[in-house]
Structure 1
Amino acid sequence: MSSLSNKIDFAVIFSVKNANPNGDPLNGNRPRTDYDGYGEVSDVCLKRKIRDRLQDMGKSIFVQSDEKKTDGMTSLKNRAESEEFGLGKNAFNIKKSTPEQTAKLACEKWLDVRSFGQLFAFKSESKDGVSIPIRGPVTIQAAFSLEPVSITSTQITKSVSGEGDGSKRSSDTMGMKHRVDSATYVAFGAMSPQLAERTGFDNEDAQTIKQILPKLFEGDASSARPEGSMAVEKVIWWQHNSKSGQYSSAKVHNSLRKHIEQNINNGMEVLFDAALLRDSIKTALPDLDVEIIDGF
Structure 2
Amino acid sequence: MSILKNKIDFVALVAVNGANPNGDPNAENMPRVDDEMYGEISSGCIHRKIRNRMQDMGHNIFIQSEDRTTDGYVCLSDRAKALFTEPNNIEKCKEEACKKWLDVRAFGQVFALQKGNTSFGIRGPVTTHEAYSVDPVIIDSFGITKSVNGLPPKNDSHMSSDRMGTKHFVKFGLYIVKGAINVQLAEKTGFTEEDAEVVKKAIATMFVNDASAARPEGSMEVIKLYWFKHNCKDGQYSSAQVHRSVKVRLKDSCTIPRSVHDYDISVDELYGLDYEDVKGVC
CA contact (8 A) 1:136 1:195 kept: yes
Aligned position for 1:157: 145
Q: Distance in 1 between matches of 2:279 and 2:263?
A: 14
Q: In structure 2, do the counterparts of structure 1 residues 91 and 9 end up closer, same or farther at CA, with 3 Å as the change threshold?
A: same
Aligned match of 2:257: none
1:11 is the counterpart of 2:11:
yes
Displacement, 1:155?
A: 1.1
Partners of 2:262 and 2:113 lie apart in 1 by 53
Within-5 A mapping of 1:70-81:
70-81=70-81
8 Å contact from structure 1 (residues 99, 122) kept in 2? no
User: Can you list the C-alpha shifts for 1:91-146, whole angstroms capped at 9, x where unaligned?
Assistant: 32x2xxx1011001100000000100001135786xxx642110000001111101
- Between the aligned partners of 1:19 and 1:27, the Cα distance in structure 2 is 16
SS at match of 2:248: helix
Alignment length (residue pairs): 270
Whole-angstrom CA distance in 1 between matches of 2:22 and 2:104: 23
Flag the 1:241–1:78 CA change in 2: closer, same or farther, 3 A: same
1:91 to 78, 81, 86: 86
Instruction: State which drifts further: 130-139 or 54-63.
Output: 130-139
Question: What amino acid sits opposite 2:140 in the alignment?
Answer: T
Q: Does 1:287 align with 2:268?
A: no
Q: Which amino acid aligns with 1:281?
A: D
Q: Which runs of 5+ in 1 are unaligned?
A: 164-168
Q: Which amino acid aligns with 2:130?
A: A
In the alignment, is residue 121 of structure 1 matched against residue 112 of structure 2? Answer: yes
Structure 2 gaps, min length 5: 153-157, 255-259
Instruction: Tell me, yes or no, if the aligned pair for 2:77 and 2:113 is still in contact at 8 Å.
Output: no
Is the CA contact 2:77–2:114 (under 8 Å) kept in the aligned structure 1?
no
Superposed, which structure 2 residues align to 1:130-145 within 5 Å?
A: 130-145=118-133
Q: What is the alpha-carbon distance in structure 1 between the residues aligned to residue 186 and residue 30 of structure 2?
A: 37
Post-superposition offset of 1:42: 0.3
Pairwise CA distance, 1:2? 3.5
Superposition deviation, residue 26 in structure 1: 0.5
Aligned residue type for 2:92: Q
Give the RMSD, CA atoms, in angstroms: 2.1
Q: Secondary structure at the match of 2:86?
A: helix
Q: Which residue of 2 aligns with 1:166?
A: none
| Higher helix proportion (structure 1 or 2) | 1
Q: Is the 8 A contact 1:161 1:170 kept in 2?
A: no
1:107 partner amino acid? C
Q: Which residue of 1 aligns with 2:177?
A: 187
